[in-house]
């Protein structure tokens, strides 16, 4: 079955989401929890902030006493409990993060006052309640701060730390088998004959799997024969997900689909209207999902990123899988033949200008290496002008 890019992606998300098995969890120290997927909701162990506090260096005052003059009656520092209450007509010097003394309802900034000895004058009007962070305004004790199924970023680590989560329960990484196929492949440390190529896809794929939160397991190269391919597929099916590279095109020795069909596979699609990567295959065999990624390195990379990555993320316990799209502004016109969604190597400058990187087709990894994004040309549209914005998929 041939699908559009959008339908193919929705198909992957729908099928995988519906069949995520019960996942194993592990407890890891907070410092090791970055990029892991939270397995249990994380709650606040106390109100955040835990008391009313100042968000500026300045003076705690009563709005009713303003504009003063006020008598400076003491100070309270961050890390100190506020002991002395504020009496009418007084100000207490206060530092950022310090507790608001009882009786104070406003903070004025140190930059906005004049002090003479122990007397304070306000140089500009103040609004009652300003520069105070109220107890519990960010979260209440017991409240869920982070839902299970979130991949933890640096802000999550700060949230977990501030609420006392020294260890974190996360989902085990899904094991992702990577099975390269092709009679032409040799190892990276071999000296290939001109008709041979080095097996580079396993390196890029393994890294893509890691970035997606999976644990890659690289299998030996399956030669383009049914028995050998079948043997290695059966071995690979002990993993949680199977990624095959190569052997899914229409060539006589592209045996992957036949072998999978013999093993009883169900195919959700075997062609997607994209370039590179049209012959990409997605299905399920013996309770495992598999992708047959076309072997040309650019196709392998793009099809993993736009389709297979979602499966790794969902099997890793993530609630959602989001493609990292951004917008770039074309510096030159762009046109393509409609019908396929194209993902072409491009460079996005720091200011959002988008320039194509010249490339020679799906095997041109040096061009993809020079790129920092793929521009995404909609299958329905033919022409873009210089200055038009275009979506890009960040690399």
Which residues form the interface with ligand AMP (CB under 6 A)?
180, 182, 184-185, 197, 199-201, 245-247, 249, 251, 254, 294-297
In angstroms, what is the minimal distance from the CB of 347 to ligand AMP? Answer: 24
First to last CA, the chain: 28
| CA 15 – CA 304 distance, rounded (Å) | 16
Residue tagged 């951004």 (tokens): 326
201 binds, among Mg ion, ligand AMP, none (CB under 5 to 8 A by kind): ligand AMP
Produce one character per residue of 118-153: b if its CB has 16 or more CB atoms within 10 Å, e if not.
eebebeeebeeeebbbebbeebeeeeebbebbbbbe
Q: Of Mg ion, ligand AMP, none, which one sits near residue 185, judging by CB under 5 to 8 A according to partner kind?
A: ligand AMP
**The only residue of 58, 180, 216, 246 in contact with Mg ion, by rule CB under 5 A:** 246
- Kindly compute the dihedral angle of the four CA atoms of residues 251, 253, 254, 257, in this order, to the nearest 10 degrees: 120
- Between residues 182 and 317, which has the closer beta carbon with respect to ligand AMP? 182
In the complex, least distance from residue 336 CB atom to Mg ion, rounded to whole angstroms: 27
**Separation between Cα atoms, residue 262 and residue 256, nearest integer Å:** 10
Q: How far apart are CA 37 and CA 148, in angstroms?
A: 8
Minimum gap (Å) between residue 282 Cβ and ligand AMP = 15
> What minimum distance in Å lies between the beta carbon of 281 and ligand AMP?
11
Question: How far apart (Å, rounded) are the C-alpha atoms in residues 327 and 200?
Answer: 30
- CB of 7 or CB of 184, closer to ligand AMP: 184
247 versus 297: smaller Cβ distance to Mg ion? 247
Binder among 182, 213, 214, 294 for Mg ion (CB under 5 A): 182
- Measured from the CB atom, the residue of 253 and 267 that comes closer to Mg ion is 253
By CB under 5 A, the residues from 288 to 317 that bind Mg ion are: 295
Closer residue to ligand AMP, CB minimum distance, 93 or 254: 254
Q: Tokens at residue 110, please?
A: 């140190």
Q: How far is the CB of 187 from Mg ion (least distance, A)?
A: 16
Please choose which of ligand AMP, Mg ion, none residue 43 contacts, taking the beta carbon within 5 to 8 angstroms, the exact cut-off set by kind: none
312-331: which residues touch Mg ion (CB under 5 A)?
none
Which is closer to ligand AMP, CB of 23 or CB of 218? 218
Rounded least distance, CB 223 to ligand AMP, Å? 11
- Minimum CB separation of residue 183 from Mg ion in Å reads 7
User: Distance between CA atoms of 106 and 64, rounded to whole angstroms?
Assistant: 10
Residue 249 contact, options ligand AMP, Mg ion, none, Cβ 5-8 Å cut-off depending on partner type? ligand AMP
Question: Distance from CA of residue 279 to its chain's centroid?
Answer: 27
- Shorter beta-carbon distance to Mg ion: residue 91 or 255: 255
Closest to Mg ion by CB, 62 vs 223, is: 223
Give the number of other CB atoms < 10 A from CB of residue 269. Answer: 17
169 binds, among Mg ion, ligand AMP, none (CB under 5 to 8 A by kind): none
How many other CB atoms sit within 10 Å of the CB of residue 228? 16
Tell me the closest approach of the beta carbon of residue 198 to ligand AMP, in angstroms: 7
Structure tokens at 182: 């092709």
Element (H, E) at 237: none
- Indicate if the alpha-carbon torsion angle 389, 280, 236, 40 is positive or negative: positive
Nearer CB in complex with ligand AMP: 197/326: 197
Q: What is the DSSP code string of 164-188?
A: T-SEEEEEPPPEEEEEEB-TTEE-T
Residue sitting closest to ligand AMP (CB): 295
Task: Give Cα separations from 253 to 8, 63, 184, 207, 250 (angstroms).
Answer: 25, 83, 12, 28, 8
**Residues that bind Mg ion in the complex, under the rule CB under 5 A:** 182, 246-247, 295
């Amino acid at each position: 079955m041939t699908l559009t890019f959008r339908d193919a992606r929705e198909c992957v998300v729908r099928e995988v989401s519906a069949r995520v098995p019960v996942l194993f969890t592990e407890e890891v120290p907070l410092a090791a929890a970055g990029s892991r997927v939270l397995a249990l909701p994380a709650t606040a162990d106390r109100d955040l902030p835990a008391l009313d506090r100042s968000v500026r260096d300045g003076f705690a005052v009563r709005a009713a006493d303003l504009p003063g003059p006020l008598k400076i009656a003491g100070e309270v520092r961050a890390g100190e409990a506020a002991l002395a209450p504020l009496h009418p007509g007084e100000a207490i010097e206060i530092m950022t993060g310090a507790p608001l003394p009882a009786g104070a309802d406003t903070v004025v900034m140190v930059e906005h006052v004049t002090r003479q000895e122990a007397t304070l004058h306000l140089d500009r009007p103040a609004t009652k309640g300003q520069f105070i962070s109220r107890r519990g305004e960010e979260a209440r004790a017991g409240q869920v701060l982070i839902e299970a199924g979130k991949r933890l970023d640096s802000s999550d680590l700060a949230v977990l730390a501030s609420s006392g989560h020294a260890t974190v329960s996360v989902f085990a990484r899904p094991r992702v088998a990577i099975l390269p196929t092709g009679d032409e492949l040799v190892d990276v440390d071999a000296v290939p004959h001109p008709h041979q190529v080095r097996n580079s896809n396993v390196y890029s794929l393994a890294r893509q799997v890691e970035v997606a939160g999976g644990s890659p397991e690289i299998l030996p190269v399956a030669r383009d024969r049914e028995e050998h391919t079948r043997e290695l597929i059966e071995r690979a099916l002990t993993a949680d997900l199977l990624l095959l590279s190569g052997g899914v095109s229409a060539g006589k020795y592209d045996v992957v689909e036949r072998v999978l069909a013999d093993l009883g596979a169900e195919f959700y699609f075997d062609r997607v209207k994209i370039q590179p990567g049209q012959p990409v295959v997605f299905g399920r065999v013996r309770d495992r999902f598999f992708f047959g990624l076309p072997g040309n390195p650019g196709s392998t990379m793009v099809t993993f990123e736009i389709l297979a990555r979602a499966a790794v993320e969902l099997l890793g316990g993530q609630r959602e899988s989001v493609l990292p799209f951004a917008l770039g502004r074309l510096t030159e016109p762009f046109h393509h033949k409609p019908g396929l969604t194209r993902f072409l190597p491009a460079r996005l400058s720091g200011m959002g200008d988008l320039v194509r990187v010249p490339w020679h087709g799906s095997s041109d990894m040096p061009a993809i290496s020079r790129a920092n994004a793929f521009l995404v040309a909609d299958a329905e549209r033919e022409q873009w002008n210089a200055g038009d914005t275009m979506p890009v998929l960040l690399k």
